[in-house]
Amino acid sequence: MKIRLTPAATLCALACFSASALADTTLSALFMTQAAYSEADIRAMTAEFTKQHPDIKVNLEFVPYEALHDKIVAARGAGANGYDVVLFDAIWPAEFNKYGLLQDVTSRITGDESKKIFDGAISTVTYKDKRWGMPWILDTKYLYYNKAMLAKAGITTPPATWADVEKQSEILKEKGIVKFPLVWSWSQSEALLCDYTTLVSAFKGSFYQDGKLNFTNSGAMKAIDFMKETLDKGLTNPNSREYLEEDVRKSFSNGDAAFALNWTYMYNMANDPKQSKVAGQVGVVPAPGSVAGQASGVNGSMGLGIAKASTHPDQAWEYITYMTSQPVQDKYAKLSLPIWKSSYDDPAVQKDQEALIAAAKTSLNVMLSRPVTPDYSRLSNILQQNIQGVLQGKVTAKDGMTTATDAADRLR
């Protein structure tokens, strides 16, 4: 006997099937565990998203920044077993475009929306005039200082130039206030290149000369010379050559340094008495330039993109749109500042971090990008190795950066 469904029953069955299919939509998203938003914040944001979108589930995976790039590359073409949403650094779109790792989302971002976002954030996800994701983390490095240490040394104002940083560090060391006034993230990693780029920016250097990669121009050499000089003078903690950003935060928060260069997230963590001995004594200013009144910075921003192999691009974009939305970013603005320009004048965002917001308004407009090249991973390794060679005293600055320049030229 055949069973015939009425039109109403047919529609009901289709609706039930559709709801069931939607309920089975599960996204896989890859994030990092260090700096910017905390894992707890990301889990909270995601829980709020899934509450509003009960038809979408999101499985989260967290890895250290150093593993993020290779995880994305390794999942290439993985289909249902790969990622739908990935967090990517500003330096990767050229390479990812070359190997087809991200979906083009240009048509998903309106021109009006782009105008409301900082240029430095938009540039993070842009390559060859196309958008490969939505900016999410807008970040640069700031100069943090210990107010109590400076006051004890009779220093009344924070440094306005890197020469001032060096001079004030000498005073602090001579007076025995702190053994190593400066701490940096100079391990052989991308963190090293972010500090180096900040200083190249400060000394008006460039990564290019006559259209070619070059690390021996005047500003680039002044940057590496400054780094080595602070080590030779005993102003920089020698352990900096093994430190990542979290090591810097812990050293500064423990009261073992007067100055530190680090990302946004350190401000509120170093001011938290539950995890910092210097809470209430943390000052922050834009990373200085070589001349008073000027600032320096590195573009350390990151975006959220849809993996090329994702079979759920529309749902992935819903999730990305939510995570990068102004209300969500404003709510979680204590460890990572919003990409939206108007957020910086919002009293709720400014609350308890007025000094950081004031610094950001300057710093976010002077960020220098690391070199843009599809071979960035190899270039980064070349630079890391040669800069480390200089900082370890194995080669001179001139020889090290000449070697790096020659090796970079061979990548083309």
b/e code 37-76 from CB counts within 10 Å (16+ = b): bbeebbeebbeebbeebeebebeeebbebeebbebbeebe
Q: Which pLDDT belongs to residue 54?
A: 95
Q: What residue ranges define each of the domains in the chain, with the CATH number in brackets?
A: 25-139+300-363 (3.40.190.10), 142-298+375-409 (3.40.190.10)
Q: Which pLDDT belongs to residue 81?
A: 63
Contact 338, 330 (CB under 8 A): yes
pTM of structure? 0.89
Place of tokens 């190593």: 180
Residue ranges of alpha helices (H) inside 178-332 are: 190-202, 218-232, 245-253, 266-270, 313-323, 326-331
Q: What is the pLDDT of residues 188-224, one digit of tens each?
A: 999 999 999 999 999 999 999 888 999 999 999 999 9
CA contacts within 13 A on the Cβ side of 101: 25
Q: How confident is the model at residue 17 (pLDDT cuts 50, 70, 90)?
A: very low
The three-class DSSP label of residue 32 is: strand
What mean pLDDT do residues 121-143 have? 96
Q: Is the pLDDT of residue 352 over 70?
A: yes
Q: How confident is the model at residue 148 (pLDDT cuts 50, 70, 90)?
A: very high
Q: How confident is the model at residue 35 (pLDDT cuts 50, 70, 90)?
A: confident
Burial class (CB in 10 A: 0-12, 13-18, 19+), 385: middle
Q: What φ, ψ does residue 137 adopt, rounded to 5°?
A: -105, 115
Q: Which pLDDT belongs to residue 82?
A: 87
CA contacts within 13 A on the Cβ side of 287: 30
Contact 329, 121 (CB under 8 A): no
- Listed residue (77, 100, 136) closest to 303, CA to CA: 136
Please list, in sequence order, all residues whose beta carbon lies within 8 angstroms of the beta carbon of residue 239, skipping any fewer than 6 positions away. Answer: 183, 247, 251
* Pairing verdict, β 85-89 and 56-63: unpaired
Q: What is the pLDDT of residues 283-318, one digit of tens each?
A: 999 999 999 999 999 999 999 999 999 999 999 999
The per-residue pLDDT of the chain, averaged, comes to: 93
- Listed residue (399, 389, 405) closest to 228, CA to CA: 389
Among 2-11, 140-149, 190-199, 223-232, the least confident range: 2-11
Q: First-to-last CA distance in the chain?
A: 73
Q: Which pLDDT belongs to residue 412?
A: 64
d(C-alpha 251, C-alpha 10), whole Å: 66
Q: Is the pLDDT of residue 79 over 90?
A: no
Q: How confident is the model at residue 21 (pLDDT cuts 50, 70, 90)?
A: very low
Q: What is the pLDDT of residues 87-126, one digit of tens each?
A: 999 999 999 999 999 999 999 999 999 999 999 999 999 9
DSSP state of 182: E
Q: Is the pLDDT of residue 42 over 60?
A: yes
Contact 308, 182 (CB under 8 A): no
b/e code 96-114 from CB counts within 10 Å (16+ = b): bbeeebbbbbeebbeeeee
d(C-alpha 135, C-alpha 321), whole Å: 10
